[in-house]
Amino acid sequence: MILSSASQDFKGKNNISSKVASKMPPEEEASRMGPTWGHGVGVVQGSKVLVVGCDGDILFENQTELVKLMREKVLSKDIPLNQSNNTWVRIFLPREALDHNSSTKLPLIVYFHGGGFILYSAASSNFHDVCANMAIDLHVIIVSVEYRLAPEHRLPAAYDDAMEALHWVKTTPDDWLRDYADLSNTFIMGVSSGGNIAYHAGLRASVEIDKLEHLVIRGLILHQPYFGGSQRTQSELRDNHPTLPLSVCDLMWELSLPIADRDHEYCNPKVGDGPQLLEKIKLLGWKVLVVGYDGDILFEHQIESAKLMREKGVSVVSQFGEGGYHGVDFVEPARAKALHVVLKNFILSSLVA
């Protein structure tokens, strides 16, 4: 077990990151927005790290203060999942859970990071900080999963790792989960490609529900989920996305799908066994939250996925905002705070006492 109080930053574990980066739009070197955390958003200016509140006030001016606040608010540790596959989980525990003599346990979120199936890690600073932030604001415990990346490990490897993580949560003797997590109120969540993984993990879990006893899933949270299809949408045809150009999107599918077909069931929720398996999710009574923005190149695919689930009788809460783009919650603190309100309301409405 590795205790971690500050994040590491692995920008991709394979040699594909440079290929994708060459297709990304240039970023400002001198000043870039970092991930939201706690009370504000991190802003890198040269070697200085600022944390800016939603009102524009500078809350902290250096990394030392940020790490100190993080240590005061949330604990994290890494535990191996499958050493043969080099997978592991990072658990986030709000420190307040240790400070209160209460028998009330916290809801659990099993979280999958984004990166188009080919980039990033549960240890990447963006995703570490987002999970720490959610653990504090939502009063939940988070298990962030380090899954295998394509193209070395094409889909469904990430789905296999997701299911292994769910079974690990069910059986682990880890004291944080044993003492503080309410496994009867579990949510599967992911952002971007992690949202795709959360969706497919949910489909698989609905079939294996008898094998997941003691782990009771209440819902899926699909944050700007990464879906697609062979038919180009209006958002894709505009191709004016500031962070996810169409060429990068296509490349990520090309590198991650087992065959070059964007109408594969891993990409397009309308094909394969997915629509039929949604009937099981309906019968289980799970709720699904889908969050998206109309400036996202994947927007129409997200709308269609929510529509499909509703047609199959699944209880769907959709939150589609205006003016945002793919990953906007990572760089605009006001949107991140608004997202947390949506997440908190969804979780509270789905809990079973």
Q: What phi, psi does 158 have (nearest 5°)?
A: -65, -35
192 is catalytic: yes
Q: Which of 125, 192, 193, 305 is catalytic?
A: 192
96 neighbors 72 (Cβ within 8 angstroms): no
| DSSP-assigned states of every residue in 175-216 | HHHHHHEEEEEEEEEEETHHHHHHHHHHHHHHHSGGGGTT--
Distance, CA of 176 to CA of 129 (rounded, Å) = 19
Q: Which of 223, 241, 264, 326 is catalytic?
A: 326
239 is catalytic: no
Q: What phi, psi does 25 have (nearest 5°)?
A: -65, 150
* 3-class DSSP assignment, residue 154: coil
Distance, CA of 5 to CA of 3 (rounded, Å) = 7
Residue 184 amino acid letter: S
326 is catalytic: yes
Q: Which of 296, 301, 305, 329 is catalytic?
A: 296
Distance, CA of 329 to CA of 220 (rounded, Å) = 19
- Which residues are catalytically annotated? 192, 296, 326
